[in-house]
Amino acid sequence: MSLEQVAQLTVAGVINGSFYALVGAGFGLILGVTGRFHYAFALVFTLSAYVTSVLETPAGLPMPAAIVGGLLAAIVLGIAIERFVYRPLARASGAVSLLTIFISSLGLTIAGINLITLAWTAFSRSIELVPLRPINVGAISFASVEAVLVAASWLLILALSGLLNFSDLGRSIRAARGNPQLARILGLDPDSIYLSVFALGSFLCGAAGILDGARFAVQPSMGIRPVMFAFVVAFLGGTRNGPIVVGLAGLFVGLVESLSGLFVSPQWSSLVVFSVLFIYLVLHPVDFRALRASILPAASSPRG
Partner 1 sequence: MDYWWDILNLVLIFSVFAISLNLLVGYTGQVSIAHAAFGAIGGYTAAYLSAQIGLPFWPALVAGALGAGFAGVLMSLPALRLSPEYLVLLTIAVSSIVLAVVGAVPELGGAYGMIASKPANLSPLPGGDLIFPHQWVMPLLAFAAFTYLVCYRMGESAFGRVLRAIRDDETAARALGSNVFAFKVVVFGITSAFAGLAGVLLFYYNQIASTSVYGLDVSLKIFAMTIFGGLGNFTGSILGAAVVQLLQPMLERIVRIDPGQAFLIQLVVYGLGLTVLVRVRPQGLLPEGFSLLRALRPAKTRLASQPSAKPISSTVAAKPAPCAQTAGAAAQSSVILEVRDLSKRFGGIAACRELNLDLQRGKIAALVGPNGAGKTTVFNLLTGALRADGGSIRLQGENVRGLAPDMIARKGMVRSFQNVRVFARMTALENVMLGIRELSTDWWCWPNGTRGGENLADLLLLPHMTGRVERHTHERAMEWLRLVGLANVAQTPAGALSFGQQKLVSFARLLGTDADLLLLDEPASGIDSKWVEQILELVAHMRELGKTICIVEHSIHVVERLADTVFFMELGHITAQGTIGELTSDPRLAEVYFGTV
Q: Does 271 bind partner 1 (CB under 8 A)?
A: yes
Nearest Cα residue to 198 out of 18, 33, 23, 43: 33
Cα separation values, 248 from 58, 101, 157, 181, Å: 38, 28, 10, 29
The pair phi, psi for residue 232, each rounded to 5°, is -65, -45
Residue number, 135 or 264, with CB nearest to partner 1: 264
Position among 47, 197, 200, 232 found at the interface with partner 1 (CB under 8 A): 232
Q: Does 230 bind partner 1 (CB under 8 A)?
A: no
Window of 86-94, 129-137, 150-158, 197-205 that interacts with partner 1 by CB under 8 A = 86-94
DSSP string of 40-93, one letter each residue: THHHHHHHHHHHHHHHHTTS---HHHHHHHHHHHHHHHHHHHIIIIIHHHHHHH
Residue 194 Cα to chain centre, angstroms:
16
Residue number, 36 or 210, with CB nearest to partner 1: 36
The residues, any chain, with a CB within 8 Å of residue 302's CB and separated by 6 or more, are: none
Q: Does 79 bind partner 1 (CB under 8 A)?
A: no
Site string for partner 1, 38-77 (x = CB under 8 A): ----------------------------------------
Residue number, 62 or 94, with CB nearest to partner 1: 94
Binding to partner 1 (CB under 8 A) within 115-134 occurs at 115, 117-118
Distance CA 121, CA 135 (A): 33
For partner 1, how many residues bind (rule: CB under 8 A)?
52
The residues, any chain, with a CB within 8 Å of residue 106's CB and separated by 6 or more, are: 39, 40
Q: How far is the CB of 245 from partner 1 (least distance, A)?
A: 17
Binding to partner 1 (CB under 8 A) within 88-107 occurs at 88-89, 92-100, 102-104, 106-107
Q: How far is the CB of 278 from partner 1 (least distance, A)?
A: 5
Residue number, 62 or 107, with CB nearest to partner 1: 107
Residue 230 Cα to chain centre, angstroms:
5
Q: How far is the CB of 65 from partner 1 (least distance, A)?
A: 29
Q: Does 196 bind partner 1 (CB under 8 A)?
A: no
- CB-based contact 254:19 (threshold 8 Å): yes
Q: Does 281 bind partner 1 (CB under 8 A)?
A: yes
